[in-house]
Structure 1
Amino acid sequence: MWSFILNFLVASSLGLEVSPEEASAVGAVPPGYAQFTFAAYIDNWDYSYYQYPLRYYINTYYWNANQPGPIFFFCGGSAPIETFISTTGYIDYLAQQMQAIVVYAEHRYFGGSLPFGNKTYAPYNMKYLSPHQALADWAYLITNLKAIYQNVPVIAWGGGYGGMLSAWMRMTYSNLIDGAIASSAPVLYFNGTVDPNAFNAFVTSQYASVAPECPAYIASAFDYLESFYLNTTEYTRLQDTFETCNPVAEPEDVGLIVNWLQNSFTDMTLYNYPYPSNTIFPLPANPLTVACSYFNGVDITNVWEVLTAVRNAANVYYNYTGLNSCSNTYNPLSNGNFGNQQGWSYLLCSSLNFPFGSIKTTSMFGDEPFDQVAINNDCFTLWGRTPQINYASQWYGASNNPAQTWQYASNIVFSNGGLDPWQVGCITKSFGTSVVAFVAKGAAFMMDLRLPNAADPSDLAAARATEKTAIQYWLNG
């Protein structure tokens, strides 16, 4: 019943799904950046069609026209581009050393890059939202930038969905892109390539690693909630216990609480940094450890003790500052930013058919088998279409035998965090000397792209050194 909602909430973390207001809260755009728009074709395969303003930011502060460095081109994901500028400080850090121009390009249909203005998310206007259309936008933009800046080399960067795009950008437009850094990029997370249950099993293992008893408490909370779906006599108490902003009046409202919880425990795994962070919401250092601490001394057989504790644990993610007066279970990720949610929902229903599932023997989230038929039905109801399940293999070559695809690629570094559950669908082994992959132990989602921090695990410094060395090799031989 909850399959598509479940997939949407879990997969949204791949694109840092936040609203413009939250993007501003994450951090202001650093000094030196100027915002511009580029006239991009709505349909890059029909040049007579209309154009729209694609937003991008550029920083030329470190660049020296007499000794020109490269362009570092960041491929935006499913959020306003400001979000990525303020949370990927390593690119600026390295640009200063390499005298690079830095460009952050927004993804069509997200942030302010809306092809049809306030009608962008009408179902009949959504057909132009796809990875290949976004890559073509950027190919035109890069061509324009190279004409201005002495035809310098271009290095693509990206993380999560943007990391997938940076790798695909190098594969598709090798005439424009000299190399790509693809962080936490699950280019193999498609049907027939990855075990649908692996992601949630990995999340569960991370909680067990910080507190062995923690997954059992979380699992019991999901069991208790499942028993309440049709027990309307307990809806008022559920509403009070979870302090929901909206009434709990229907079984669907109980399902929203379930999804609210799963999203929090999943995203805390992704952003399990050893220092305080503010990627989507403000988080403490080591949020998994903090969340699990709320189960200390709780009687696992006491329903309401467990549910109160699991609410407090989830609020380490949603409300660590204590500023929210209620739990927004209806729309937990975007606080009303309907547009970005619609865009990501459409991608999941078209080109990015991520197979998520959960089985009770390996996951604290209980039994929620991956069900393509249910997802197809949900997508048809939402968008009047079903996912193109072979999209990645047809366009970019995703395969259950990665060597068949990646032996022909070149100049890509796939960086992965040892704590990041997305690694189950990522390239984690190198293919020759031209497609390099590594897993940095102790690092979480996209952590290598963040500004270096004294609390970073030791492997992360080596990971960043690998990226720098690869870029120098691509540029200089």
Structure 2
Amino acid sequence: MLFSPARGLILLFLFDFTDAGRIFWKIKERVRNLQLQKAKQHLQMHTLRGQQLLQHVKEGRVHQQLDHFNRQDMSSFPQRFFVNEAYWQRPDGPVFLFVGGEGPIFEFDVLAGHHVDMAKEHGALLLAVEHRFYGDSINPDGLKTENLADLSSQQALADLAVFHQYISHSFNLSHRNTWISFGGSYSGALSAWFRGKFPHLVYGAVASSAPVKATLDFSAYSNTVGSSLRNEAVGGSPKCLAAVQEAFAAVEALMSRNGSQVAEDFGCCQIPKDADDQIELMQNLADIFMGSVQYNEEGVLMSINDLCGLMTNKSEETEAYNRLVKLSQIYHSTSEEPCLDISHEKTVKDLMDTSLHSGRRAERQWTYQTCTEFGFYQTCEDTSCPFSGRVTLQIHTELCLMLFGISQHSLPGRVAFTNSYYGGDDPETHRVLYVNGGVDPWKELSVVQDGTEDGEDARVVFIKDTAHCADMMRRRVTDRCSLKKAREEIEEHVSRWLKTGVQEKTENRIANQSRPSDSWGMKNVARVDGGEVVEGGGGVGREMRRWRREMGMQGGGGGRGGGKPAPCGVKSPLAAGTVRGPLTGRPTVKLHAAHGDAYPGPMFPATPLLIEVQPPPVAVRCADSEHKEPEDQEGGTLFLSAPPHTEHRASPTSCELRAGARGAPGGGEALQDTADSSGPTAGTAPTRTGYLRLGGTF
């Protein structure tokens, strides 16, 4: 990995990709460019300080595995990130992680924004990490369909876990450094999911405008746009909504009679003769309204107030159709395109482009994720939709088969799995703050109800009259009072998390130091058999002898009687020592180290590490079984005993190993598969298998 000083200043682009038309993409680009200009102006006003800040920003790459869940495949890709140490109070200051979404990250992500303002206050180390397969975090052949199989939110979260480990090592971080994650839109969902899936790595998460509920048919998006156009608090009105509905109906009526006139009126590059091109045109016209609502009052094109003012102004144009034409002309006057491209064939061709130069556009990657995980298809089949009813679910989902060979019939199951995996819009998460705006259509897929008991920390900040990710921007004089108050609430939550995080970690560390350790190290683990235990790091030999004494056994492996019964389920502190002694003909027990114990680090699952255990020739009395002599003791072990697993019992009275450790991949099914594959050895008792968590406890 290389760190290099970041040059220039470019802005984060808050993507919210769907299969919307070309105009919507252009509006997003304008959002980016406008915020870029504002960021540059802000730094220019503080030139000296701005130059100093840029010197603190460094760009880096860390190589991530393409498939974290397949330890046999070591293929990797370079993941890009930025670091800003300007405000960090070494060595114990907190870490603020900005999670990248479906687009490139830029230096701006660690230089400006509400999370940066809070980093200044709390002395935090600022990080921004790019999502796999977006921006520059992609291999040259990454956009080929067969390679997109490694693009998923689950893999992205695994990237964050490995990145956490990497940064912790690079900056010598410890438990004293409290991590808080931030994100907006899809990256907001990732921020929430990272906290939910890896709560030991990130203490709290802010999820702005986060669509955590996957939905195949996202008809609520268009309906919410219609509601916002009717909302008088933000400049809408019932007359505005009615005018929009009237205009779209007029376009469809004229297009069925005279497509050439429609093409001329709206400056189209082609005459919309076939149904696909006609739908493309209707989607692009709807984009003007969708983009204006989603980014209301961000200074892009028109606000809701401006747009509705034009659509209801009958002094110049009496027909709603003509007012829509004028609105389209205003858009094109600020555009660099000579005409509006409504060719559906060209749209599909662009989405099939796998050349790397298209990687920064992100349409192909995000379309793939909508097909495999989220849906999010903005349809207009509902009668309350103010636009064209020809924008159906079918026209969106057929792209999945056309582009990636993904069956349309498989999509509901994929979306259902995502919600089952993450919890949908009612996740069991703690210390995740969901921030949403009342004008934002994406609030429909986020968490907007607190659902907390008395005394619990609230998990929702709802800003009734703001739009998408408005809280993430740096403070402005023109911000609404509700937005200012919302930022204060966010700041209170983050401050409280940082305070309680330090307290909890200190208390846990003291508690852990005050009681005997029963965690087992991975170092020097060798074959475990009935020989002598040689002390290793951490006094494993002493721990083993103490355990033998507590079980009523003699230190060298004897102690046949006189001791108290060994309760099935007791765990032994064995592991970090080396064990001597040859294997004999007695039956053995095979153990698989699960997850990160086979591969040290935060990533799971890893290829299991097989360890063969041979019980010593001693008797063990189990609390739930009768005394057994050494020659009959097939399942007894000084290291671990547990209630019998009926499917793999060597005898009805044997005391067997626990079947599966906490978090073991597959649980009992994995145990069953391993047991069947091992099989009995001729002349010996059947070999049994199980999962033993090394480096932890059951």
TM-score norm. by structure 1 comes to 0.83
Separation (CA, whole Å) in 1 of partners of 2:293 and 2:496: 34
Match of 1:458 among 462, 477, 481: 481
Partner of 1:171: 196
TM superposition shift of 1:248: 4.2
Greater RCO, CA 8 A, separation 6+: 1
Partner of 1:80: 104
TM superposition shift of 1:411: 0.8
Partner of 1:215: 241
Separation (CA, whole Å) in 1 of partners of 2:383 and 2:111: 36
| 1:298/1:305 contact within 8 Å kept | no
Partner of 2:462: 439
TM superposition shift of 1:198: 2.5
Which letter does structure 2 place at the counterpart of 1:423? Answer: K
Which letter does structure 2 place at the counterpart of 1:327? Answer: L
Match of 1:294 among 287, 307, 310: 310
Separation (CA, whole Å) in 2 of partners of 1:21 and 1:199: 22
TM superposition shift of 1:256: 1.7
TM superposition shift of 1:379: 1.1
Separation (CA, whole Å) in 2 of partners of 1:11 and 1:172: 36
Separation (CA, whole Å) in 2 of partners of 1:13 and 1:241: 20
Partner of 1:51: 76
TM superposition shift of 1:338: 4.0
Which letter does structure 1 place at the counterpart of 2:435? Answer: S
| 1:196/1:370 contact within 8 Å kept | no
TM superposition shift of 1:94: 1.2
| 1:410/1:435 contact within 8 Å kept | no
Partner of 1:381: 402
| 1:429/1:438 contact within 8 Å kept | no
SS at match of 2:19: helix
1:342 and 2:360 matched: no
| 2:82/2:107 contact within 8 Å kept | no
| 1:218/1:310 contact within 8 Å kept | no
TM superposition shift of 1:23: 9.6
Partner of 1:185: 210
Partner of 2:137: 113
Q: Which moved more, 1:212-221 or 1:52-61?
A: 212-221
Partner of 1:279: none
Going from structure 1 to structure 2, the CA distance change for 1:94 and 1:64 (only over 3 Å counts) comes to: same
| 2:87/2:119 contact within 8 Å kept | yes
1:425 and 2:425 matched: no
| 1:242/1:311 contact within 8 Å kept | yes
Match of 2:19 among 8, 23, 26: 8
Separation (CA, whole Å) in 1 of partners of 2:107 and 2:325: 32
Going from structure 1 to structure 2, the CA distance change for 1:355 and 1:258 (only over 3 Å counts) comes to: closer
Going from structure 1 to structure 2, the CA distance change for 1:198 and 1:57 (only over 3 Å counts) comes to: same
SS at match of 1:390: helix
Going from structure 1 to structure 2, the CA distance change for 1:213 and 1:20 (only over 3 Å counts) comes to: closer
Which letter does structure 2 place at the counterpart of 1:126? Answer: L
Separation (CA, whole Å) in 1 of partners of 2:273 and 2:193: 45
Separation (CA, whole Å) in 2 of partners of 1:468 and 1:383: 43
TM superposition shift of 1:356: 3.6
Separation (CA, whole Å) in 2 of partners of 1:12 and 1:177: 38
Q: Which runs of 5+ in 1 are unaligned?
A: 1-5, 277-281
Partner of 2:647: none
Pairs within 5 Å for 1:207-356:
207-209=229-231, 210-228=236-254, 230-231=256-257, 234-246=258-270, 248-273=272-297, 276=299, 282-283=300-301, 287-295=303-311, 296-297=313-314, 302=319, 305-312=322-329, 315=331, 319=332, 321=334, 323-329=336-342, 338-339=358-359, 340-354=362-376, 356=378
1:468 and 2:491 matched: yes
Partner of 1:3: none
TM superposition shift of 1:54: 0.7
Superimposed CA distance per residue, residues 310-355 of structure 1 (whole angstroms, 9 cap, x where no aligned partner): 4146x1xxx57455543355589x9997431101110111111225
Question: How many correspondences in the alignment?
Answer: 443
Match of 1:95 among 107, 111, 119: 119
Separation (CA, whole Å) in 1 of partners of 2:369 and 2:477: 37
Superimposed CA distance per residue, residues 103-137 of structure 1 (whole angstroms, 9 cap, x where no aligned partner): 111111111111x31x2211111111110111111
1:390 and 2:416 matched: yes
1:147 and 2:169 matched: yes
Partner of 1:413: 433
SS at match of 1:121: coil
TM superposition shift of 1:365: 1.2
| 1:358/1:367 contact within 8 Å kept | yes
1:202 and 2:224 matched: yes
TM superposition shift of 1:178: 0.8
Separation (CA, whole Å) in 2 of partners of 1:263 and 1:80: 23
Going from structure 1 to structure 2, the CA distance change for 1:366 and 1:236 (only over 3 Å counts) comes to: closer
Identity %: 23
Which letter does structure 2 place at the counterpart of 1:413? Answer: L
TM superposition shift of 1:164: 0.6
Separation (CA, whole Å) in 2 of partners of 1:87 and 1:359: 43
SS at match of 1:223: helix
Separation (CA, whole Å) in 1 of partners of 2:21 and 2:122: 37
Going from structure 1 to structure 2, the CA distance change for 1:347 and 1:83 (only over 3 Å counts) comes to: farther
1:448 and 2:455 matched: no
TM-score norm. by structure 2 comes to 0.58
Superimposed CA distance per residue, residues 421-462 of structure 1 (whole angstroms, 9 cap, x where no aligned partner): 211221112232245102112221101110111111112222
Separation (CA, whole Å) in 2 of partners of 1:10 and 1:238: 17
Superimposed CA distance per residue, residues 146-202 of structure 1 (whole angstroms, 9 cap, x where no aligned partner): 2233232211101111111100000011111111000011212425xxx84332221
| 2:282/2:388 contact within 8 Å kept | no
Separation (CA, whole Å) in 2 of partners of 1:113 and 1:23: 25
Partner of 2:159: 137
Q: Which runs of 5+ in 2 are unaligned?
A: 1-16, 44-52, 501-698
| 1:186/1:423 contact within 8 Å kept | yes
Separation (CA, whole Å) in 2 of partners of 1:218 and 1:204: 9
| 1:76/1:84 contact within 8 Å kept | no
Going from structure 1 to structure 2, the CA distance change for 1:83 and 1:174 (only over 3 Å counts) comes to: same
1:156 and 2:177 matched: no
